[in-house]
Amino acid sequence: CCWAFSAVAATEGITQLTTGKLISLSEQELVDCDTNGEDQGCEGGLMDDAFQFIQQNHGLGTEANYPYSGVDGTCNTKKEASIAAKITGYEDVPTNSEQALLKAVANQPVSVAIDASGSDFQFYSSGVFTGTCGTSLDHGVTAVGYGVGDDGTKFWLVKNSWGTEWGEEGYIRMQRDVDAAEGLCGIAMSASYPTA
């Protein structure tokens, strides 16, 4: 269901930036109700398809109203009708450009796809991640910031959906400005963000 968490985090971000209100939105609504295109509940999905659904559905409800269950369910149209946040569309970040991704993340949280299949990534605990990983995109996360580590290593601050016990309270700092155009773990290959 990671694609839903990624899209919701980016939508929460743009909603907070435009309204001043940080509203916890419903991942489960996407899992249950957005079944078009590649979005197939916890079997997998794409953040762009999720943004299309949120736009076409005229918004997304709150987590409190439509709580996360972690399994595919039947769309509750009554709960789905309660809208807490809207987007006007979405934009794709130019592919294979960490510089373009940097410009986007400077303005708002950005949904990114990465290759999270490697054990280095899965067992990450702290520090700037510089481990080995491929570019077979298989996981949706959210780039929420960037910075420079104590040793001078540039990094992306990325929100994962594996709970606060993983990484740095649910976040990972991933090395930024690597030699490969696609970025570490493919972070610059498929990035997008909702528009308000």
Confidence at residue 42, expressed as pLDDT on a 0 to 100 scale: 84
The fold for domain 2-87 equals: Cathepsin B; Chain A (3.90.70)
How is the chain split into domains, by residue range? Answer: 2-87, 91-195
Any idea which residues carry the catalytic annotation?
2, 139, 160
pLDDT at position 35: 85
pLDDT of residue 53: 96
State the pLDDT at residue 123: 97
Domains 2-87 and 91-195 share a fold: yes
What global pTM score does this model have?
0.95
Q: How many helices (H) and strands (E) does the chain have?
A: 6, 7
Which residues of the chain fall below pLDDT 50? Answer: none
What phi and psi values does residue 154 have, to the nearest 5 degrees?
A: -75, 145
Phi/psi-derived region of residue 96, left when phi > 0, alpha when psi is between -120 and 50, beta in every other case: left
Residues belonging to the chain: 196
Rounded-to-integer distance, Cα 28 and Cα 42, Å? 10
* Separation CA 51–CA 91 (nearest Å): 10
Predicted local confidence at residue 188, as pLDDT: 99
Which amino acid does the sequence have at 36?
N
What is the pLDDT, as a whole number, of residue 121? 98
Report which DSSP code applies to 93: P
> What pLDDT is stored for residue 148 in this prediction?
98
- CA neighbours closer than 13 Å in the CB half-sphere of residue 128: 17
Cα–Cα distance measured from residue 30 to residue 36, given in angstroms and rounded to the nearest whole number: 10
Query: What pLDDT, on the 0 to 100 scale, is given for residue 40?
Result: 86
Euclidean distance between CA atoms 113 and 187, whole angstroms: 6
Using CA atoms, how far apart are residues 127 and 136, in angstroms rounded to an integer?
Answer: 24
As a whole number of angstroms, the distance between CA 138 and CA 144 comes to 19
Give, as one character, the DSSP assignment of residue 74. Answer: -
What pLDDT score was predicted for residue 80?
Answer: 82
- Which class does domain 91-195 fall in? alpha beta
Q: Tell me, what's the pLDDT at 142?
A: 99
